[in-house]
């Protein structure tokens, strides 16, 4: 499971960062899942090693332009390429009307089935391998965070041990690997778990944007292997974050800490922290790591591989993670950034 960031800027693109777009690559099923699709996302895909023809599902958090302005262009290009079988699109109820209007006025026809699923808190997708849920966050308009849960898998099957026990190669191996018990011709009963290594715990990836600090983000991120959380502002600009309903570096870190996540990845940065300003992105990273040390800062085209956990590794208690809530504090003294105000309200 690999996560590639196609856009990590808030509001407007910069020379080095495009607006929101995150891809989850699922090699075992040759699929890409896209989370948000800001302007220029298809250009970022072309520059990356990812193939747009593998996009199977798209999850939109909310209807602000820096999260959806690239969607129609990408969908149209996928249709022109003619190598997409089907795309399922998940997002707010208004998303269907947006797509309908874009198709109508641009006279766009898709050569593949596009299924649009209006979301509400709870399960939005589920199959034999994954469950995706969403929760309402706290932003100026309705915005949802997503939680992707991979199902647990049996541990590695010990073929040599099975052969030593005289188990004939074939369908019995499959049953044992699935944890079943079998009886050999001599009456010997073999239990699957005795021939398998530790269970591979399903991974959990959480995507929270746009939002100010809120309890739903903590519950959504409980015990997450990776929490991707918006970090639009520095802690020193907390007043602005509260006004615009966005998160600071310390808010994101407090969510990760309270949720007992394993890794925090910050994204969705305001352009005001560009090199040369008094406050820069490295300062946001320092602020977050002071609260949650295992914090990373995403950049465009950076890929993070989500590691697996085994059943013999420590696993936080979910009820403790959900209950361990803390409120963000405002800075004692607010530093003024020399960066010019952007026309976008999120910058």
Q: pLDDT by residue (tens digit) across 287-306?
A: 999 999 999 999 999 999 99
Verify that 77 and 177 share a domain, yes or no.
Answer: no
Distance CA 44, CA 20 (A): 11
Verify that 74 and 110 share a domain, yes or no.
Answer: yes
Verify that 187 and 262 share a domain, yes or no.
Answer: no
pTM: 0.85
Verify that 65 and 95 share a domain, yes or no.
Answer: yes
- Look at residues 121, 109, 132, 158 and name the one whose alpha carbon lies nearest to residue 56: 132
Task: Check whether 139 is labelled as a binding-site residue.
Answer: yes
Task: Check whether 62 is labelled as a binding-site residue.
Answer: yes
Catalytic residue among 66, 223, 225, 346: 66
239 is catalytic: no
- Look at residues 123, 115, 128, 114 and name the one whose alpha carbon lies nearest to residue 144: 123
pLDDT given for residue 321 in this prediction:
42
pLDDT given for residue 317 in this prediction:
47
Task: Check whether 67 is labelled as a binding-site residue.
Answer: yes
Task: Check whether 127 is labelled as a binding-site residue.
Answer: no
Structural domain span for residue 176: 159-195
pLDDT given for residue 324 in this prediction:
44
Domain count, the chain: 2
Verify that 95 and 74 share a domain, yes or no.
Answer: yes
Q: What is the CATH number of the domain that holds 212?
A: 3.60.15.10
Verify that 146 and 274 share a domain, yes or no.
Answer: yes
How confident is the model over 133-184, as pLDDT tens digits? Answer: 999 999 999 999 999 999 988 788 888 888 888 888 888 888 888 778 988 8
List of the chain residues with pLDDT < 50: 316-325, 332-345
Task: Check whether 117 is labelled as a binding-site residue.
Answer: no
Decide if 19 is inside a domain.
yes
Going by C-beta distance under 8 Å and a sequence separation of 6 or more, which residues neighbour residue 82? 111
Decide if 333 is inside a domain.
no
Verify that 144 and 257 share a domain, yes or no.
Answer: yes
Decide if 111 is inside a domain.
yes
Decide if 335 is inside a domain.
no
pLDDT given for residue 310 in this prediction:
66
Decide if 261 is inside a domain.
yes
Last residue of a domain, one of 170, 195, 220: 195
């Amino acid at each position: 499971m690999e996560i590639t960031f196609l856009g990590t800027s808030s509001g407007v693109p910069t020379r080095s960062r495009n607006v929101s777009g995150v891809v989850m690559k699922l090699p075992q099923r040759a699929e890409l899942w896209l989370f948000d699709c800001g302007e220029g996302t298809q250009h970022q895909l072309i520059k990356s090693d990812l193939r747009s023809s593998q996009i199977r599902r798209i999850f939109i958090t909310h209807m602000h332009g820096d999260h959806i302005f690239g969607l129609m262009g990408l969908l149209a290009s996928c249709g022109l390429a003619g190598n997409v079988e089907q795309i399922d699109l998940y997002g707010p109820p208004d998303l269907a009307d947006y797509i309908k209007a874009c198709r109508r006025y641009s006279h766009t026809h898709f050569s593949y089935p596009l299924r649009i699923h209006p979301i509400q808190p709870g399960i939005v997708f589920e199959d034999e391998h994954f469950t995706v849920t969403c929760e309402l966050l706290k932003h100026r308009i309705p915005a949802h965070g997503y939680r992707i849960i991979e199902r647990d898998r049996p541990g590695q099957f010990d073929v040599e041990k099975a052969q030593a026990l005289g188990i004939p190669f074939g369908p019995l191996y499959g049953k044992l690997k699935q944890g079943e018990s079998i009886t050999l011709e001599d009456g010997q009963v073999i239990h699957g778990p005795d021939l398998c290594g530790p269970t591979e715990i399903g991974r959990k990836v959480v995507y929270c944007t746009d939002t100010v600090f809120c309890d739903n983000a903590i519950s959504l991120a409980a015990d997450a292997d990776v929490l991707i959380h918006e970090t639009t502002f520095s802690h020193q600009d907390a007043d602005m974050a509260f006004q615009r309903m966005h998160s600071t570096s310390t808010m994101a870190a407090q969510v990760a800490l309270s949720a007992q996540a394993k890794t925090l990845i910050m994204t969705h940065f305001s352009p005001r922290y560009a090199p040369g300003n008094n406050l820069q992105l490295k300062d946001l990273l320092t602020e977050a790591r002071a609260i949650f040390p295992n914090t990373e800062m995403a950049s465009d085209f950076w890929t993070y591989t989500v590691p697996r956990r085994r059943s013999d590794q420590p696993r936080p208690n979910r009820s403790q993670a959900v209950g361990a809530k803390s409120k963000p504090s405002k800075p004692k003294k607010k530093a003024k950034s020399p960066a010019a105000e952007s026309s976008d309200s999120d910058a």
